Amino acid sequence: MLKIAHTADNHIGMKFNKYGPLKKDLVEARFKSLKKLVDKANDRCCDLLVISGDLFDSINIARPDIEKTVGILKEFSGEYVLIIPGNHDFYSGNEDLWKIFSSLSPLNFILLNNNLPFTYKKDEITYIFYPFYCDSKHSKENKLSTYNDKDYDNNFYKIGIAHGAVEGLSLDMEGRYFYMSNFELENSKMDLWLIGHTHTTYPKENSLGFSRVLNPGTHEPDGMNYREAGGFFYIEIDDKVNFEFIESSTFRFYDFNYRLGEVNTIIKLKDELLSKSNKNNLVRINLTGTISLEDYEIKDEIFRELKDAFFYLDIRTDRLKVKLGADKIKEKYIEGSFPYNLLMNIEDDKAVQLAHEILEEAKK
């Protein structure tokens, strides 16, 4: 039985600049989770570790980060680490990234950047890995025509390692990311495809179906658009292919839409979020609806309390309205005063809210 740990889109070197002082932990998490991945692959006695592109976030990676990555991958106890360049860490022949990486790598690191298949034999079965690597960041043409029919031997088990957008799985409206159609993949000579590029796990279940395509997603989530746990595929190839998704991530990202109102109050929102508090979660909440003046006046205090419950919390209130009726205006402002007259003569709820905010800000 052949055992493979399949990963992709690790994006070592990603900056996370928009997270300010938190970015250091997010940068380090990509190394930490790569170490988890290698350890879990070793626990399952994997023969091969296959990286289907974008091990690095760009071709301009600091040497210490390359050294650290190589050091982690060296801890893999299987026989070989197979790597193809993706569209972020592409190889066109002159990139210092891959020169440095190769100079630091042991002999069992196989950088598949020359269109030469890699042959591996186990239990008297010969497996041939065909690389379809990226030589640029963008391309309207994929690499599936790299080999001719004569390059394929039907007596061997053929595995394609590719990086690029996949029909129905990736968002690539303009076809700029080595786009591969389902027809091309399904009608290829490959017995199995190990693909990278799309930051989502596919398939979700242990059932390959007809397409024979595996796309593990990233080992460590990298933004609000990635709402799954990071991880890799553990694959067993015997009479059939079995696979299991193994989590390796440190942080999780969550993006919620929450409508506030008479039932869903600020206090209820607070209680719900605190029940899910986790210092490894990064959360964005998009609030909509209309809240009472009482809720409006305590919201900032509640939000400050919530921020302590998560690693990162971004609460967006630009679509949130406050219900500031005549009774509340009379309760809050002296009749005949400028604020009272101003607010009582505005008919639009949103304009009332804006005027109220300006008046409150002017008091400070």
CATH number, domain of 201, equals: 3.60.21.10
The number of domains in the chain is: 2
**Per-residue pLDDT, 206:** 65
Q: Are residues 233 and 279 located together in one domain of the fold? A: no
Query: Could you read off the pLDDT of 162-191 as tens digits, one per residue?
Result: 999 999 888 887 778 999 999 999 999 999
Average pLDDT over residues 228-240: 94
The answer on pLDDT for 58 being more than 60 is yes
- Strand segments, DSSP code E, in the chain are 2-7, 48-52, 80-84, 109-111, 118-122, 125-132, 157-163, 192-196, 213-214, 231-237, 241-247, 252-260, 278-292, 310-323
Q: Are residues 115 and 261 located together in one domain of the fold? A: no
**Per-residue pLDDT, 344:** 75
Separation of alpha carbons 359 and 331, rounded Å: 15
Q: Are residues 129 and 224 located together in one domain of the fold? A: yes
Average pLDDT over residues 215-225: 96
Separation of alpha carbons 267 and 72, rounded Å: 45
Identify the domain containing residue 65 by its residue range. 2-247
Q: Are residues 14 and 162 located together in one domain of the fold? A: yes
Q: Are residues 216 and 263 located together in one domain of the fold? A: no
**Per-residue pLDDT, 205:** 76
Q: Choose one of 247, 274, 301: the last residue of a domain.
A: 247
The answer on pLDDT for 290 being more than 60 is yes
Q: Are residues 187 and 323 located together in one domain of the fold? A: no
Q: Are residues 241 and 257 located together in one domain of the fold? A: no
- Write the single-letter amino acid at 325: G
The answer on pLDDT for 85 being more than 70 is yes
- Tell me the CA distances in angstroms from 138 to 135, 163, 174, 317, one per residue in order: 9, 11, 11, 37
Q: Are residues 137 and 224 located together in one domain of the fold? A: yes
Q: Are residues 229 and 290 located together in one domain of the fold? A: no
Query: Could you read off the pLDDT of 94-132 as tens digits, one per residue?
Result: 999 999 999 999 999 999 999 999 999 999 999 999 999
Range of lowest pLDDT (5-14, 169-178, 341-350): 341-350
> Who's near 281: CB < 8 A, 6+ residues apart?
251, 252, 253, 254, 310, 311, 312
Q: Choose one of 223, 247, 271: the last residue of a domain.
A: 247
The answer on pLDDT for 301 being more than 90 is yes
Average pLDDT over residues 351-355: 78
**Is the model more confident about 149 or about 203?**
203
Q: Are residues 279 and 141 located together in one domain of the fold? A: no
For the CA atoms of 120, 126, 132, 133, what is the dihedral angle to 10 degrees? Answer: 0
Look at residues 84, 120, 83, 155 and name the one whose alpha carbon lies nearest to residue 2: 120
**Is the model more confident about 363 or about 238?**
238
Q: Are residues 219 and 272 located together in one domain of the fold? A: no
Q: Is the pTM of this model over 0.85?
A: yes
Q: Choose one of 247, 270, 302: the last residue of a domain.
A: 247
Query: What percentage of the chain has pLDDT greater than the value 70?
Result: 98
Average pLDDT over residues 82-103: 98
Q: Are residues 152 and 173 located together in one domain of the fold? A: yes
